[in-house]
């Protein structure tokens, strides 16, 4: 089928003619809700959207480490203690989510299919700038829900750029879709102030800058940061010692994406943290 029949511009710019726009034109992606879901103030107090926090990422000697605790909450209630907040988008890209999981997971699915659609129609990978702008547009399209207070998402995006200057790239966003490239580290979610403080301290006055950390040292730092955030933030789980539940940790490098097994994380925690 010719691309023009699908209404998709071959010169993809990440702005007007992208995969979400195609879905919306075909009636396969619904518009934002016209008004708040809960009108009654009494019902508003009883209903709280599920939230998922906290996530962090930083560059180390082996690429970019991305980690997220496992807790999902609704108000002061723990909804789930094994939520996956670190999602693989393609063979070189990770999206970590903080905010409403229902919205964030749908964004991740749309972004994953957008990149697949581009790869299959253009016979090449989308550029890093294109990927970053595609996620930015999804966040911008979601702003109607953000204004209603029911769909806030503030993700972190990590990828490996193998083109002109091979290197791992790290970006964070605000709820409106503004993107910022991080030179060293990023953290979002309710526990992020504590995490950013720890990462800044370690990068500035620690034994080694973040860029020089080994894999085990980087994993140890991520576990310590999340565990510290959990001490003052009830929405962050850190390490659940009794349930033996550890954060999800993935690494983006020139080799692609590596998911660290739970027994590896447990061993680092026992040896270098606990």
Matching residue, tokens 């989510």 = 97
Tokens (6 digits) for 183: 């030179």
Q: Which residues are catalytic?
A: 53
- Any idea what DSSP says for residue 270? I
Question: In terms of DSSP H, where are the helices of the chain?
Answer: 3-6, 19-25, 41-46, 101-122, 128-141, 143-148, 192-205, 215-232, 262-268
* CA pair distance 134, 157, nearest whole angstrom: 11
Burial class (CB in 10 A: 0-12, 13-18, 19+), 243: exposed
* CA pair distance 20, 29, nearest whole angstrom: 7
* CA pair distance 112, 93, nearest whole angstrom: 10
- Any idea what DSSP says for residue 254? T
Question: Sign of dihedral through CA atoms 82, 245, 202, 167?
Answer: negative
């Amino acid at each position: 089928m010719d691309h023009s029949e699908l209404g998709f511009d071959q010169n993809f710019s990440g702005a007007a003619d992208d995969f979400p726009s195609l879905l919306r034109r075909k009636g396969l992606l619904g518009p934002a809700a016209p008004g708040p879901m809960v009108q009654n103030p009494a019902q508003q107090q009883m209903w709280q959207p599920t939230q998922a926090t906290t996530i962090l990422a930083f560059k180390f000697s082996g690429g970019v480490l991305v980690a997220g605790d496992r807790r999902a909450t609704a108000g002061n209630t723990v909804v789930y203690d094994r939520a996956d907040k670190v999602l693989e988008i393609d063979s070189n890209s990770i999206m970590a989510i903080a905010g409403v999981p229902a919205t964030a997971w749908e964004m991740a699915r749309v972004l994953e299919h957008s990149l697949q659609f581009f790869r299959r129609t253009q016979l090449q990978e989308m550029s890093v700038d294109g990927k970053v702008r595609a996620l930015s547009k999804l966040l911008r399209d979601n702003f109607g829900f953000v204004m209603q207070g029911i769909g806030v998402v503030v993700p972190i995006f990590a990828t490996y750029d193998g083109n002109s200057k091979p290197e791992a790239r790290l970006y964070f966003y605000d709820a409106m879709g503004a993107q910022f490239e991080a030179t060293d580290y990023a953290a979002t979610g309710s526990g992020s102030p504590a995490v950013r403080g720890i990462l800044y301290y370690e990068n500035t006055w620690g034994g080694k800058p973040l860029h020089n950390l080994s894999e085990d040292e980087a994993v140890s730092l991520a576990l310590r940061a999340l565990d510290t955030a959990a001490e003052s933030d009830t929405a962050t789980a850190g390490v659940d010692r009794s349930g033996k539940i550890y954060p999800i940790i993935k690494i983006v490098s020139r080799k692609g994406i590596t998911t660290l097994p739970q027994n590896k994380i447990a061993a680092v925690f026992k040896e270098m943290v606990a």
